[in-house]
Structure 1
Amino acid sequence: MNNAVKPIPPRYNLTTLILFWCSLIVVSSLYLTIPLFSVFEDVFQVSSSEAAWAGSAFSFAFAGGALLFGGLSDRYGRKKMMITGLGLLTVSTPFIGTVHEFQWLIVLRVIQGLAASMFPPSVLAYAMEMFPTNKRVTILGFISTAFLMASIVGQIYSSTIVMGLSWNDVFYILGIVYFVSLILITIGIPKDVIQKPKDDFFTPLKRIGGIFRKKSLPICYIISSTLFIALVGFFSTIGSYLSSPLFGLSHQEILWVRAAGIIGMFISPFDGGLVTRYGVKNVLWCGLIMAGIGLGLVGISENLALLIPTSIIFTAGIAMALPALLSLIGTLAGELRASALSFHMFMLFIGASLGPIISIYLIDTQGHGPTFEVLAGLLLLSTVVPLFIRLERKETISPINQ
Structure 2
Amino acid sequence: MNEGAVLTDQGRKRRAYVLAALVLGMFMASIEGTIVATAIPAIVGDLGGFSLYSWVFSAYLLMNALTILIYGKLSDLYGRKPVFLFGLIVFLIGSLLAGFASTMKLLIVFRLVQGIGAGAVQPIAMTIVGDLYTIEERGKIQGYLASVWGISAIFGPALGGIFVQYLSWAWVFWVNLPLGLLSVIGIAVFFKENVKKERHAIDYVGAFLLFVTITSLMIVLIQAGVAWAWDSIPTLSFIVLFIVGIILFIWRERVAREPVVPLKIWTNPLIAIANIVSLTTGVVIIGLTSFLPSFVQSVMGQSAIIAGFTLTAMSVGWPLSSTLVGRLLLTRSHRMLLSIGGTALVIGGLFFFLMTGDKGPIWPAIGSFIIGIGMGSTSTLFIVAIQNSVPWNLRGAATSSNMFMRMLGSAVGAALLGGLLNTHLKSFIAAHGAAEHLSIDSANAVLENRDVHLSTHALHILSRGLETALHSVYIGVFVFTLISFVLILVIPKKYLAFRRK
Query: TM-score, structure 1 length as denominator?
Result: 0.85
- 1:201 equivalent to 2:199? Answer no
Provide the secondary structure at the position in 1 that maps to 2:192: coil
Give, in whole Å, the separation in 2 of the partners of 1:138 and 1:297: 30
Q: Deviations for 1:137-162, whole angstroms, at most 9, x for unmatched residues?
A: 22222223336765775554433322
The residue aligned with 1:3 is none
The residue aligned with 2:42 is 39
The residue aligned with 1:175 is 177
Give, in whole Å, the separation in 1 of the partners of 2:396 and 2:77: 14
Assess if the C-alpha contact under 8 Å between 1:16 and 1:142 holds in 2: no
Matches within 5 A, 1:3-402: 7-11=9-13, 12-47=15-50, 49-146=51-148, 154-187=156-189, 189-196=190-197, 199-202=200-203, 203-205=257-259, 208-215=262-269, 217-245=271-299, 247-265=300-318, 266-301=320-355, 302-330=359-387, 336-364=394-422, 365=424, 366-392=468-494, 395-397=496-498
Distance 1:171 1:370, change over 3 A: closer
Q: What displacement does 1:204 show?
A: 4.7
Assess if the C-alpha contact under 8 Å between 1:284 and 1:325 holds in 2: no
Gaps of 5+ in 2: 1-7, 204-256, 425-467
Q: Deviations for 1:210-255, whole angstroms, at most 9, x for unmatched residues?
A: 234334643332211111110111122221222245x321222223
Assess if the C-alpha contact under 8 Å between 2:39 and 2:172 holds in 1: no
Query: What amino acid maps onto 1:239 in structure 2?
Result: P
Distance 1:276 1:176, change over 3 A: closer
79-88 or 208-217: which moved more? 208-217
Q: Deviations for 1:294-339, whole angstroms, at most 9, x for unmatched residues?
A: 1212332414454433321121111111112224444666785543
Give, in whole Å, the separation in 1 of the partners of 2:352 and 2:343: 14
Give, in whole Å, the separation in 1 of the partners of 2:193 and 2:283: 34
Assess if the C-alpha contact under 8 Å between 2:345 and 2:485 holds in 1: no
Assess if the C-alpha contact under 8 Å between 1:74 and 1:196 holds in 2: no
Distance 1:53 1:398, change over 3 A: farther
Q: What displacement does 1:166 show?
A: 0.9
Give, in whole Å, the separation in 2 of the partners of 1:90 and 1:237: 25
Assess if the C-alpha contact under 8 Å between 1:53 and 1:106 holds in 2: yes
Distance 1:17 1:230, change over 3 A: same
203-212 or 265-274: which moved more? 203-212
Assess if the C-alpha contact under 8 Å between 2:93 and 2:114 holds in 1: no
Query: What amino acid maps onto 1:17 in structure 2?
Result: A
Give, in whole Å, the separation in 2 of the partners of 1:64 and 1:398: 31
Distance 1:274 1:204, change over 3 A: farther
Provide the secondary structure at the position in 2 that maps to 1:367: helix
Provide the secondary structure at the position in 2 that maps to 1:205: coil
Q: Deviations for 1:30-60, whole angstroms, at most 9, x for unmatched residues?
A: 554322332332233212x412211110111
Assess if the C-alpha contact under 8 Å between 1:66 and 1:118 holds in 2: yes
Assess if the C-alpha contact under 8 Å between 1:291 and 1:313 holds in 2: yes
Distance 1:197 1:321, change over 3 A: farther
Assess if the C-alpha contact under 8 Å between 1:228 and 1:348 holds in 2: yes
Gaps of 5+ in 1: 1-5
Query: What amino acid maps onto 2:373 in structure 1?
Result: A
Give, in whole Å, the separation in 1 of the partners of 2:361 and 2:379: 27
Q: What displacement does 1:95 show?
A: 1.5
Q: Deviations for 1:324-380, whole angstroms, at most 9, x for unmatched residues?
A: 222444466678554332221111101111333333344452433443232122111
Provide the secondary structure at the position in 2 that maps to 1:100: coil
Give, in whole Å, the separation in 2 of the partners of 1:344 and 1:239: 27
The residue aligned with 2:452 is none
Give, in whole Å, the separation in 2 of the partners of 1:317 and 1:196: 42
Query: TM-score, structure 2 length as denominator?
Result: 0.70
Provide the secondary structure at the position in 2 that maps to 1:249: coil
Give, in whole Å, the separation in 2 of the partners of 1:345 and 1:274: 23
Q: Deviations for 1:88-138, whole angstroms, at most 9, x for unmatched residues?
A: 233332112222232222222111111121222322222122234543222
Assess if the C-alpha contact under 8 Å between 2:149 and 2:316 holds in 1: no
Give, in whole Å, the separation in 2 of the partners of 1:148 and 1:333: 29
Query: What amino acid maps onto 1:261 in structure 2?
Result: M
Structure possessing the higher radius of gyration over alpha carbons: 2
Q: What displacement does 1:196 show?
A: 3.6
Assess if the C-alpha contact under 8 Å between 1:214 and 1:333 holds in 2: no
Q: What displacement does 1:18 show?
A: 2.6
Assess if the C-alpha contact under 8 Å between 1:290 and 1:313 holds in 2: yes
Distance 1:253 1:175, change over 3 A: same
Query: What amino acid maps onto 1:312 in structure 2?
Result: F
Q: What displacement does 1:184 show?
A: 3.2
Runs of 4+ aligned structure 1 residues displaced above 6 Å come to none
137-146 or 358-367: which moved more? 358-367
